[in-house]
Structures are given as C-alpha cells and as structure tokens.
C-alpha cells in the first residue's frame, strides 16, 4: 500500500491506496539550483528571447515603468534583483529619478509590499501601488481583438519604456507570467472583469496553452499598453525577452521540467498543501483533478475545511455585494498599512462558499452578467463546473453532509476509507488511480484532458 498522512486540526489523517491501482503518483520533481536569483536574471538579460538586450532597447533619459508582481516582490527586494536591474538601467543612461516602480497586483491588493521590496529600493525610485478601482489613475489604450476595453495605470501609459518582473507558472486561467503583468497586473478593474469572464469561453482552463483565447486577449492588452521586456522566474531558472516569444518558452520549460506528465485515470485523490483549513483551498486543485480523471470517473478531495463557517442562507444579492466590498477594501489598504487585509480575504472566502452552494446555472448567470466581483466569481464558476463534471467526494472535518450536498459534492464523509470504498463500488476493484497528495504533491500536465 502507498500511504500519506495529512495534518488536520483533529489530528493526522491516513490515506492508503493499493500500489497495484496507482497509475501516477503526482510528485513535484527535485530540481537543481541553477544560481542565485540575481545571477539568473543577469544571464537572462544577457540573452533575451525575441528582442535586443535591455541596454539596446532603452534610450538615455527614457521614463521607465518597472512593473513588479505581488508574487515576486520579495525576491526583487531582498535577493539583489532590483539593484541589478536599476544599475543596468543607470548604465544605459536612465537615472533612478526616471524610473517608476509599479507594484502590479491587479485586484489582489498590496499586503506587505513595501517591506517586501525594502527601503533601499524605495529610496532610489518613485514607487506606486496600482489601484485598479481608481479610475482617475487610469488611461484608456484601446480595445483588444475580442473587444476587451483596456485601461492601464497612468504611469505605464505615459512611460517611454515598460518592462516587468514576474513569474511563469500554472494558473486557473492557463499560465501566469508574460503579459499577465499588464492584465491583470496594472489594468483597470473593468478590463480585468471583462477578461476574467472569458474563462467561460475556454475548456477547464488550468494549464492551458497554446490556443487559450483568454491569454490571447491578455497579450493583445499588453501590446496596447506597450510592454517591451518581461523577466519571468520559472521553476528553477529565469527567462527574459519580448513577451510573445519569451513567455511560451517559459511555459514549455515549466511543462517539461516542473510538471508531472500523466493521463486521466478512473479516480484522482488529491489534497491541498498544508492543513487545508479553507474549503477554497480547492483553488486550481479541483481543475487539475478534473483533468486527471476520465469522464465517468470519480474525484476524492481531502480538504479539512476546519475554518468553514455554516452557510448563511442570505440572499444572493448580499453575497455579490460583499464580494465587491471586500475587493474595494483590500485594494484601498495598501502597502504595510493593512491590518484588516486578512479579514477581507476571509470574508471573500466565505462569499465564495456561499456562491458555490448555488447551482452551476445560477453561478453562470452571475458570471455572464458580471455581477459581484469576477475576480472571485469566476473562481467559483470553475470549481462548481469541475465538481459537477466529475463525481466528487469530499473527505472533510469541517463540512456537514447536508452542506456538502448543497456545495455540489456527491458524497461527504469524515473518513477517507468510506469515500474510497464507495469509489471502488462504482468503478470496480481494478480502477486506476492518480494520487496528488502532500508533502510531495506536484502539478500534473495532461495534454488532452477529457
């Protein structure tokens, strides 16, 4: 038997699966360290993909907008990456006074951003935290090929040269990185909302490239915004260059190096990393499990959900209104001055669970009509779609069977053995299994999801 132990609030939970049934143990590969972050960035800038080196692209005296994602601000600030880039700009004739560092967090907010970047860099350049809800700080740049109106941060729109630092990795909407530093990074809320609702035009969107129409829209927006150079941290290396050439290279590297190739099995068993205290730690996990499970198969989601609050039963309109309010509040409380940011994110989680308890038909209406906050409602739509597409059993300590049924789960139990026995009853003793469980859990790559 193959065994795993989950760390739940009630105590350890043992998961045992027969070795003979296991198709793939989805475990993250142990990648070698190829260099310190600043070293990798320097090598990438010396060998850019699809464009000349930075020093040949930027002109002396240019006003530079240097964009930074909320996932890579600490590396930028505390691993020498920021100093490296600014020093190279200086040598190219761009003084620090001409550089505006933009924290490009889209609708995520800027919790702890200043401390992650650090005082040395903040004293060198002008620093701006993008607020997608402040329409006075946005400039209209045109419309993408599929009709998304593009508003971007004024500092970006008025810059002579736009470059960014972020990372390429799997996302609910395909893959992060590349042009994503523009949309959603420094885009207006209405632009983000329009683009995010395109998740309904895609297949289950996690880890989808090429031919993802939502990502094509993102790249069109970046063209309109004038993004010239992107630096992407990727698995254990870094790529830099023109985003239309650099980003697909980074995606292929992630797929071939950091992800685990597999085929759909009869059963997928998964659990989120850590203790899984939030039911919404199914984020992207539900989508990946859907991809690794054949049509007609079963998914067993092992999620503690110990922080789950009983569903309120309030009107849908109140839930949708709170989505908007939470996003407004955490976007307003920027930098390190945001003591209530965890509260608003917790309330956003509660709203997601309330919406998940609605039917896929109702949730689809919410997304199509752009009600609530599409940054959150599209997550819920994707999760519920996956739960409905494949029979999903929930093993949990925090959700009752009655509420679990409302959330779309075909079976809710506090014992893994019960869920597995039911799967065997449905699929037979020779069922094939994909297992994606901590502490070694990884990210599957399925070329042709069902």
Is 450 within a domain? no
- Summarised one tens digit per residue, pLDDT across range 134-157 is 999 999 999 999 999 999 999 999
Is 367 within a domain? yes
How many other C-beta atoms lie within 10 A of the C-beta of residue 46? 10
Average confidence (pLDDT) over 416-445: 97
Q: Which domain holds residue 207?
A: 37-258
Is 31 within a domain? no
Whether residue 209 is found in the same domain as residue 299: no
As a whole-number percent, the residues of the chain with pLDDT over 90 amount to: 90
pLDDT value at 444 more than 70: yes
SS3 141: strand
Whether residue 62 is found in the same domain as residue 48: yes
Whether residue 269 is found in the same domain as residue 396: yes
Whether residue 251 is found in the same domain as residue 273: no
Element (H, E) at 85: helix 81-91
Whether residue 251 is found in the same domain as residue 368: no
Whether residue 183 is found in the same domain as residue 289: no
Is 301 within a domain? yes
Whether residue 230 is found in the same domain as residue 275: no
Whether residue 9 is found in the same domain as residue 84: no
Tell me, what DSSP letter sits at residue 407?
A: T
Whether residue 254 is found in the same domain as residue 321: no
The overall average pLDDT reported for the chain is 95
Whether residue 20 is found in the same domain as residue 156: no
Query: pTM, whole model, 2 decimals?
Result: 0.95
Is 268 within a domain? yes
How many other C-beta atoms lie within 10 A of the C-beta of residue 97? 10
CATH of residue 19's domain is 3.90.226.30
Is 32 within a domain? no
pLDDT of residue 447: 78
* Among candidate residues 196, 224, 258, the one where a domain is terminated: 258
Average confidence (pLDDT) over 372-397: 95
* Among candidate residues 240, 258, 276, the one where a domain is terminated: 258
Is 105 within a domain? yes
Whether residue 95 is found in the same domain as residue 128: yes
SS3 content of the chain, % helix, strand, coil (to 5): 40, 25, 35
CATH of residue 216's domain is 3.40.50.11440
- Summarised one tens digit per residue, pLDDT across range 196-231 is 999 887 665 688 888 899 999 999 999 999 999 999
**Count: domains in the chain:** 2
Is 222 within a domain? yes
pLDDT of residue 111: 86
pLDDT of residue 331: 82
Distance CA 408, CA 75 (A): 40
Among 15, 17, 1, residue whose Cα is nearest residue 432: 17
- Summarised one tens digit per residue, pLDDT across range 18-53 is 999 999 999 999 999 999 999 999 999 999 999 999
- Summarised one tens digit per residue, pLDDT across range 307-342 is 999 999 999 999 999 999 999 988 876 667 677 888
* Among candidate residues 237, 258, 279, the one where a domain is terminated: 258
Whether residue 401 is found in the same domain as residue 438: yes
């Amino acid at each position: 038997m193959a065994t795993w132990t989950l760390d739940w609030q009630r105590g350890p939970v043992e998961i045992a699966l027969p070795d003979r049934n296991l198709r793939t143990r989805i475990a993250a590969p142990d990648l070698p360290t190829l260099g310190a972050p600043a070293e990798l960035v320097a090598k990438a800038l010396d060998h850019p993909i699809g464009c000349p080196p930075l020093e040949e692209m930027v002109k002396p005296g240019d006003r530079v907008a240097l964009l930074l994602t909320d996932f890579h601000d600490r590396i930028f600030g505390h691993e020498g990456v920021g100093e490296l880039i600014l020093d190279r700009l200086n040598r190219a004739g761009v003084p620090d006074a001409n550089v505006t560092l933009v924290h490009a967090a889209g609708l995520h907010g800027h919790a702890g951003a200043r401390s992650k970047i650090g005082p040395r860099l903040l004293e060198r350049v002008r620093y701006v935290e993008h607020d997608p809800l402040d329409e006075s700080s946005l400039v209209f740049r045109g419309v993408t090929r599929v009709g998304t109106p593009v508003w971007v941060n004024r500092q970006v729109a008025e810059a002579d040269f736009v470059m960014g630092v972020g990372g390429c990795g799997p996302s609910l909407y395909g893959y992060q990185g590349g042009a994503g530093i523009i949309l959603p990074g420094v885009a207006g809320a209405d632009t983000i909302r329009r683009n995010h609702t395109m998740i309904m035009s895609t297949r289950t969107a996690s880890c989808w490239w090429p031919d993802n129409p939502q990502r094509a829209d993102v790249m069109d927006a970046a063209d309109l915004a004038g993004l010239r150079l992107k630096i992407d941290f990727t698995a254990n290396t870094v790529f830099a260059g023109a985003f239309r050439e650099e980003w697909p290279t980074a995606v292929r590297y992630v797929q071939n190096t950091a992800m685990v190739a597999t085929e759909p099995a009869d059963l997928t068993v998964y659990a989120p990393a850590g203790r899984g205290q939030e039911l919404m730690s199914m984020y992207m996990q539900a989508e990946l499990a859907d991809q690794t499970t054949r049509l007609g198969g079963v998914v067993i989601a092992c999620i503690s959900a110990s922080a789950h609050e009983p569903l309120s039963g309030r009107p849908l309109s109140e839930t949708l209104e709170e989505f908007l309010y939470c996003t407004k509040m955490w976007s307003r409380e920027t930098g390190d001055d945001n003591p209530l940011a965890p509260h608003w994110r917790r309330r956003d989680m509660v709203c997601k669970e309330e919406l998940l308890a609605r039917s896929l038909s109702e949730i689809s209406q919410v997304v199509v009509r752009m009600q609530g906050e599409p940054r959150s409602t599209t997550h819920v739509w994707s999760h519920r779609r996956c739960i409905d597409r494949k029979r999903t059993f929930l093993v949990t300590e925090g959700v009752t069977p009655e509420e679990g049924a409302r959330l779309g789960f075909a079976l809710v139990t506090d014992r893994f053995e019960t869920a597995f026995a039911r799967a065997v009853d449905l699929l037979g003793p020779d069922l094939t299994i994909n297992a994606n469980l901590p502490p070694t859990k990884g990210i599957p790559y399925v070329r042709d999801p069902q």
